[in-house]
């Protein structure tokens, strides 16, 4: 029987439409490098045991800033990236062509900012390493993936004196942020942007293969009860329509520390970058609905 994933052209639902072009890994890497370095970020790579996780970091006058006195780090987590090359072919490297979470991170004005790709993004994948295709397809939100971030965060706490985290996740990065917040006690706040928090409903809606190797945020609702949250969607998002998240959002809204907003005229990629400076005010201190 044919895979359900073959029934839908993945470039239209999982990754930016431009990823259907033959943009190579080096070009994608250079695009991200330029965005980061132009904003004063420098490259970092974390060895988490199973994976190397790459990203870019910016530190601004930590000694004289009250935010650092509290040990807070703001962490942006990238989306799923280029998971598929075509409707029939899994990508050999999931590095995103349009690293939207990085474009948001470089606008962050707080003093300690870290942008993180997902495991196996921004790295050359070699035969025999742990970057198996399942980790950007069926297992993209698996415990192995979440454990990589756990290990990374513990390194930050031990080596850089970080005490607390605020997470901002774009698309699938928002799912990762929610799962991390549910499993940790040092996450103060999460913001998700255009995220498929109910990924089983999302797969059913698009008639694609369920992500059966991935964790389900629904199973971790109770762990999110003490975490402040702000969830954002675009009204014109055909990749992750807001309606697909209503069931899980109703569960989350049982907590008074959860709010959300649906932005008119926004879709999955537009216009978060252009309006992020304005959105940040609500993101930091959201008003409950």
Contact 156, 73 (CB under 8 A): yes
- The end-to-end CA distance of the chain, in Å, is 46
Measured CA to CA, the distance from residue 190 to residue 179 in angstroms comes to 10
pLDDT greater than 50 at residue 180: yes
Distance CA 106, CA 91 (A): 27
Q: What is the pLDDT of residue 255?
A: 84
- Quick one: pLDDT at residue 70? 60
- What DSSP string runs through 79-133? ---S-BSSSS-B-S----SS-HHHHHHTT--SSEEEEE--TTTTS---TTSS--G
Query: Of all residues in the chain, what percent carry a pLDDT higher than 70?
Result: 85
Q: What is the CA radius of gyration of the chain?
A: 18
User: Is the pLDDT score of 266 beyond 90?
Assistant: yes
| Phi/psi at 103 (5° precision) | -65, -30
Q: Could you give phi then psi for residue 66, rounded to 5 degrees?
A: -65, -30
pTM of the model: 0.88
Burial of 188: CB neighbours in 10 Å, binned 0-12, 13-18, 19+? middle
Residue 158: how many other CB atoms lie within 10 Å: 9
Domains of the chain are: 4-284 (3.40.50.1820)
Contact 55/114 with Cβ under 8 angstroms?
A: yes
Q: Where are the beta strands (DSSP E) in 172-271?
A: 187-193, 228-234, 258-263
The pLDDT confidence band at residue 20, using thresholds 50, 70 and 90, is very low
Residue 67 has what pLDDT? Answer: 47
Report whether pLDDT(30) > 90. yes
Location of structure tokens 């762990």: 223
Residue partners of 269: CB distance under 8 A and separation at least 6: 16, 98, 100
Average pLDDT for 195-223? 95
pLDDT in tens, 43-87: 999 999 999 999 999 986 555 544 454 689 999 999 999 988 876
């Amino acid at each position: 029987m044919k895979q359900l994933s073959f029934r839908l052209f993945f470039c239209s639902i999982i990754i930016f439409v431009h990823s259907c072009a033959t943009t190579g890994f080096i070009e994608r890497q250079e695009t991200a490098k330029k965005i980061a370095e132009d904003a004063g970020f420098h490259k970092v790579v974390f060895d988490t045991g199973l994976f190397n996780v790459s990203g870019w970091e910016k530190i601004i006058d930590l000694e004289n800033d009250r935010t650092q006195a509290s040990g807070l780090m703001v962490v942006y987590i990238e989306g799923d990236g280029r998971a598929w090359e075509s409707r029939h072919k899994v990508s050999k490297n999931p590095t995103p062509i349009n690293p939207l979470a990085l474009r948001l991170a470089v606008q962050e004005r707080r003093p300690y900012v870290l942008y993180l790709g997902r495991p196996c993004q921004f790295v050359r994948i070699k035969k025999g390493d742990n970057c198996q295709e399942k980790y950007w397809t069926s297992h993209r939100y698996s415990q192995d993936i979440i454990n990589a971030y756990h290990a990374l965060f513990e390194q930050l706490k031990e080596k850089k004196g970080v005490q607390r985290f605020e997470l901002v996740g774009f698309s699938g990065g928002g799912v990762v942020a929610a799962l991390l917040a549910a499993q940790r006690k040092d996450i103060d706040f999460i913001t998700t942007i255009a995220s498929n928090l109910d990924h089983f409903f999302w797969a059913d809606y698009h008639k694609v293969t369920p992500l059966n190797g991935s964790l389900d945020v629904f199973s971790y609702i109770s762990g999110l009860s003490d975490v402040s949250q702000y969830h954002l969607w675009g009204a014109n998002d055909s990749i992750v329509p807001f309606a697909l998240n209503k069931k899980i959002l109703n569960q989350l809204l049982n907590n008074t520390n959860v709010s959300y907003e649906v932005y008119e005229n926004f879709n999955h990629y537009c216009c978060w970058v252009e309006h992020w400076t304005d959105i940040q005010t609500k993101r930091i201190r959201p008003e409950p609905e």
